[in-house]
Amino acid sequence: MKLEKITLYPLKMPLVSHFETSFGRIYERECVLVKIESEGLVGWGECVADRDPGYSYETTGTVLHILKEFVLPLLAGQDVADPADFQRRVAKIRGHHLAKAGVEMAIWDLLGQRQGKSLRELFGGVREQVEVGVSIGLQDTTADLLKVVEKYVADGYQRVKLKIKPGRDVSEAAAVRRAYPSLKLQVDANSAYSLQTAAALRPLDDLNLLLIEQPLYEDDIWDHRLFQKQIKTPVCLDESIISPRHARYAIEMEACRVINIKPGRVGGLSQALQIHEMCRAINMPVWCGGMLETNIGRASNLALASLPGFTLPGDISASARYYRQDVTLETFTLDPNSTITVPTGPGLGVTVDEARVKEFTFGEVVIPNSCG
């Protein structure tokens, strides 16, 4: 497929409610949308970096830089056969997985449209609806947290993830567990602990949690192995699994019992599919993480989560949990049994509302820039 014109749209979108993690609070979410025009079709992708390097070293600024200066010059005007061909072309650019994954998503979207197949069909997904949960940020008080959990449970979410940090962990999780004895509950520390301070998390073993996500350093695998030996609750890695190779290291080191798969973090859907295969072969449960995506990234996550090894609910909530206005004509809503329906149309299966995109962008970039 000839990639005739590529447009980048950095977006800033106001969140319905602020989102606080161990690395800070945000009121607005940034991302970079990628639009690729090819042989009469238009493919869309989403780079899930944010303004600040909190979760990842990548930012809106680095995504624009790496794509403009290095990735897109390898692609513009070129005939790119498929996502594997894309991955071969960008393999010599080190790192910058969130940037590359957004472009790859647009290529998957084009491939699906060309073949008249949804991403779910291209991936071999087996479910029409996927089980989902909601990720709840740190709140000012435990009473506030209980109110927020109550609202989401009333909305129909049957799995809740709580963000934790030192001093705001066991007591919060215990309060939620007391109020909801049978809720599927898990916690995410986003690397807020050291191996020493993580000893404070041992009482979580009494709360029947599904998992503890990324308690230690974002680039660590070894200390997570040591921590997993000290705790019964399954450790789940997010930040430290940056490639299929790192997934293998974690598996071989017994550093975790669950993996959170985010296509952006691992360099694209191709690598996400490889990690799914690897984990499935050894019966390690995986689930689809979230990056507060727009409906574009959400459509892609839903297709991924339809694969058979995604046996735990994903961080894929209804559109209304994130933004009052999103960038597609479709809206994702929560279905009964805490599920969301996977799109069935060709490619991503969503229709981008370009007027909305233009409303939220703060400076579009066209490549090649001489193209009319």
Region for 347 from its dihedrals, namely left if φ exceeds 0, alpha if ψ lies in -120 to 50, beta otherwise? left
Residue 329 CB, nearest distance to Mg ion (Å)? 30
Which residue is associated with the tokens 């450790």?
235
Q: Which of 342, 26, 339, 341 is nearest to 155 (CA)?
A: 339
Query: Which CB sits closer to ligand OSB, 215 or 289?
Result: 289
Query: Which CB sits closer to Mg ion, 193 or 360?
Result: 193
End-to-end CA distance of the chain: 20
Q: Per CB under 5 A, does 238 bind Mg ion?
A: yes
Residue 20 CB, nearest distance to ligand OSB (Å)? 11
- Reported as half-sphere exposure (CB side, CA atoms, 13 A), residue 66 has a value of 23
Rounded to 5, what percent of the chain is helix, strand, coil? Answer: 35, 25, 40
Q: Which one of ligand OSB, Mg ion, none interacts with residue 152, CB within 5 to 8 A by kind?
A: none
Q: Per CB under 6 A, does 266 bind ligand OSB?
A: no
Q: How many amino acids of this chain bind ligand OSB (CB under 6 A)? A: 11
Residue 345 CB, nearest distance to Mg ion (Å)? 29
Measure the CA–CA gap between 44 and 103, rounded to whole angstroms.
Answer: 8
Closest-by-Cβ residue to ligand OSB is 290
Q: Which of 173, 130, 183, 175 is nearest to 153 (CA)?
A: 183
Q: Per CB under 6 A, does 135 bind ligand OSB?
A: yes
Classified as helix, coil or strand, 25 is strand
Classified as helix, coil or strand, 360 is helix
Binders in 288-307 for ligand OSB, by CB under 6 A:
289-292
Binders in 167-196 for ligand OSB, by CB under 6 A:
188, 190
Measure the CA–CA gap between 32 and 206, rounded to whole angstroms.
Answer: 41
Closest-by-Cβ residue to Mg ion is 238
Q: Per CB under 5 A, does 188 bind Mg ion?
A: yes
Q: Which helix (H) or strand (E) holds 21?
A: strand 5-21
Residue 207 CB, nearest distance to Mg ion (Å)? 18
Please say whether the beta carbons of 191 and 214 come within 8 A: yes
Q: Which one of ligand OSB, Mg ion, none interacts with residue 295, CB within 5 to 8 A by kind?
A: none
Catalytic member of 151, 163, 232, 358: 163
Query: Which CB sits closer to ligand OSB, 6 or 187?
Result: 187
Under DSSP, the state recorded for 71 is I
Residue 137 CB, nearest distance to ligand OSB (Å)? 8
**Which two tokens mark 128?**
């029409």
Q: Is position 262 annotated as part of the catalytic site?
A: yes
User: Cis before residue 166, ω within 30 degrees of 0?
Assistant: no
Q: Per CB under 6 A, does 315 bind ligand OSB?
A: yes
Residue 71 CB, nearest distance to ligand OSB (Å)? 22
Query: Which CB sits closer to Mg ion, 118 or 135?
Result: 135
Please say whether the beta carbons of 224 and 250 come within 8 A: yes
Q: Is position 12 annotated as part of the catalytic site?
A: no
Contacts to Mg ion by CB under 5 A? 188, 213, 238
Which positions are catalytic? 163, 262
Contacts to ligand OSB by CB under 6 A? 55, 135, 188, 190, 238, 289-292, 315, 317
